Amino acid sequence: MFSGLIQSGGWGCFDEFNRISVGVLSVVAEQMRQIMNALRLINEDPENVAHRFEDEVIPFNKNVGVFITMNPGYAGRSELPDNLKSLFRPMAMMVPDS
């Protein structure tokens, strides 16, 4: 999924992200770290767009975006590990009082 988003420059929104097991979240954290590092390098040198991701060198489209949603406080949900939490910008939402 991430490889396709990276190459196409697509945006992906992953819903209920904190329902994923902690073991899988650690793998996702490493993949997101690779993506963020490659995007930093592309900003420094726009000519160098091919970077390593999961043992392959692939072209990165700098327009890629990854978003997650979470519903904290429900049973069966886990907290995000700090190394993954630091890669996303938090934003709170609530149901409007209409």
Q: Residue 90: which of 98, 79, 74 has the closest Cα?
A: 79
pLDDT value at residue 48: 87
Asked if 71 contacts 80 with a C-beta cutoff of 8 angstroms, the reply is no
Question: Domains, the chain, ranges and CATH?
Answer: 2-84 (3.40.50.300)
Report yes or no on whether pTM surpasses 0.75.
yes
* Cβ within 8 Å of residue 93, ≥6 positions away: none
pLDDT digit of tens for each residue in the chain (98 aa)?
Answer: 999 999 999 999 999 888 888 888 888 989 999 999 999 999 999 888 899 899 899 999 999 999 998 887 777 777 788 888 888 888 888 888 98
Give Cα 32 distance to the centre of its chain. 5
The whole-number pLDDT of residue 80 equals 82
Strand, coil or helix: 58: strand
- Report the distance separating Cα 28 and Cα 11, nearest Å: 16
